[in-house]
Amino acid sequence: MTDTTARIPKLTRKGQATRDRILQAAVELIAERGVVGTSTEDVRKAARVSGSQIYHYFDSKQALIRAVITRQADAEPVPGRPMMGALDCFDALRAWADAAIQRQEENGCRGECSLGSLAGELGAADEDSRQDLSNGFLRWQGLLEQSLRAMRDRGDLRPDADLGELSLALLTALQGGTLLTQTMRDIRPLRAALNAALSYIHSFAADQR
C-alpha cells in the first residue's frame, strides 16, 4: 500500500495538530457533502488554515482523501463504541447494535462519512482508494470475528459456528442497513438489518433458548 502520509521530515506537536485539524475538517465536510461536494478550498476554510497549508501536509487531494479513509478505518465501526474485548456475549452484541441504531436516529439518519459511504462514492472510481477501503473493511471484520471468537470460547456459540461468515454477515448488515437508512432517511432498514444479523448469529448459540 502506498504511503500517502509521510511527507514532512519532522512534525512538531503544533504541526501534528494542524494536520489533524485539516483531516478532521475533511472528515466532517465529507460526511455531509460527500467527497465530490468538498473542495480543498472548503477544507481550508473549515480548518481555518491559510493558503498552501493543505498542500504542505498532503501531497494532493487524493492523498487527503486516502488519509480520511484510513482515519475512518482505524476508528471503531460504531463510533464511540470500542469493541476490543468488550463484545463477548449476546447482550453486549445487542447493546452494540442498539448503539449503532441510536446514533443514526440522533443524526437524523444523515451521513457519517463511514467507510460504507466512502466505498460507494470511491470504490468504482479509484483503485488505490478501493484498496484502502477494502483493508478497512477487512480490519472491521477481524474485530467482529475476534468478538465472536471470544463468545465461542466462552461457550456462548457452538464450536462449529463459521465465525468468518458470521462476522461478514454482521458487517454487511451494518453497512447495508446504514446505506438504506441514510438514503431513505428512515431508521427501519438499519434496525431490520441488524435484527436479522443478530438473530442469525443467535441461531448458532450453544444453548438454544
Partner DNA sequence: AACTTTTTGGGTTGCTCAACCCAAAAACTG
Partner DNA sequence: CAGTTTTTGGGTTGAGCAACCCAAAAAGTT
Give me the residues that bind its own copies (CB under 8 A), please.
Answer: 31-34, 36-37, 111, 116-125, 130, 133-134, 137-138, 164-166, 168-169, 171-177, 179-180, 182-185, 188-193, 195-197, 199-200, 203
Q: Should residue 49 be labelled a site residue for DNA when binding is judged by CB under 7 A? A: yes
Q: Contact between 124 and DNA (CB under 7 A)?
A: no
Cβ contact 22:54 at 8 Å: yes
Place of cell 458487517: 171
Q: What's the CA gap between 31 and 100, in Å, rounded?
A: 16
Contact region for DNA (CB under 7 A) — 33-41, 76-84, 136-144, 188-196?
33-41
Q: Which of the listed partners (its own copies, DNA, none) does 158 bind, with a CB threshold of 5 to 8 Å by partner kind? A: none
Q: Is 108 in the site for DNA (CB under 7 A)?
A: no
Please identify which residue in 1, 3, 10, 124 interacts with DNA, judged by CB under 7 A: 10
Q: Return d(Cα 187, Cα 124) in angstroms, integer.
A: 27
Name residue, grid cell 512534525: 11
Phi-psi group of 113: left, alpha or beta (phi > 0 → left; psi -120 to 50 → alpha; rest → beta): left
How far is 83 from 59, CA to CA, in rounded Å? 33
Cα(44)–Cα(125) distance, integer angstroms? 24
Q: Going residue by residue from 54 to 93, which x/- string records binding to DNA, judged by CB under 7 A?
A: -xx--xxxx-------------------------------
Q: Which of 121, 156 has the CB closer to its own copies?
A: 121
